[in-house]
Amino acid sequence: MAKSVKMKKKTKKSIVICICGLAGSGKSTLAKKLAEKYGLKYFSGGNALKALAIEEGYKSLNRGWWEREEGMRFLEERTEDSKFDETVDRKLLELAKQGNAVLDSWTMPWLFKKGFKIWLEASPEKRAERIAKRDGISVKEALNALKIKEKRTKSIYEKLYGFSLGEDFKPFHLILDTENLGAEEVFQVLCEVIDKMIAGSCPLL
């Protein structure tokens, strides 16, 4: 960790890393670990949206909130009123411009024009397996929830910003297939890439 942070200071550049991927791809886990390793701030679009939902009276759950009834109801409300997403995205953009951050977000790769942008890819079946294990539900339930969630989420962002989540990869500098990789393996791969970029003073960072 010390070595990575020292290299960051040597470059005197502001580092911004955007992690993106559909539910179950491992983006939140990876983003948190990268933030810790490189001494960066961590910001989650999903967590910010959930916080707004709780303020609106939705009940909180420790795990699997988005795939359960509360999360699905809030998602439906978001499709009818874009104020929640717009509020969160404005705040994330402000934080991104401050630099030295890892953003776990479905929108920042398109809205924030700088930074190093990573897409984590995995099949719906693999992602459903991961979510089922994490949340203690069946794979069938997880897969069904994913299909509904992703359809509605894509609709929100197409309407708001004009991009197709999971289909438009133009903003990304790296696409990593996580289908057959564990969380630690994905983390190690990304660390190797980022360390080389920092050492070489890559302008993307």
β-strand pairing of 101-104 with 16-20: parallel
Q: Across the chain, what does the average pLDDT equal?
A: 91
Whose structure tokens read 């929108």?
107
Domain ranges of the chain: 14-20+30-199
Do 205 and 49 touch, CB atoms closer than 8 A? no
Q: Which strand (E) or helix (H) includes residue 47?
A: helix 45-55
pLDDT value at residue 201: 67
- Check whether 3 has a pLDDT greater than 60: no
> Could you tell me which residues come within 8 angstroms of residue 41 by beta carbon, excluding any fewer than 6 positions away?
35, 95, 100, 101, 102
Task: For residue 11, name the pLDDT band (cuts at 50, 70, 90).
Answer: very low
Q: How far is CA 29 from CA 25, 119, 143, in A?
A: 9, 14, 20
Query: Each residue of 154-202: pLDDT tens digit?
Result: 999 999 999 999 999 999 999 999 999 999 999 999 999 999 987 776 7
Q: Does domain 14-20+30-199 match CATH 3.30.200.20?
A: no
Summarize the confidence of residues 64-88 as an average pLDDT.
93
Q: Among candidates 132, 25, 119, 145, which has minimal Cα distance to 153? A: 145
- Check whether 94 has a pLDDT greater than 50: yes
- Check whether 9 has a pLDDT greater than 80: no
- Check whether 137 has a pLDDT greater than 80: yes
- Check whether 8 has a pLDDT greater than 70: no
Do 120 and 20 touch, CB atoms closer than 8 A? yes
Q: Among candidates 118, 114, 122, which has minimal Cα distance to 105? A: 118
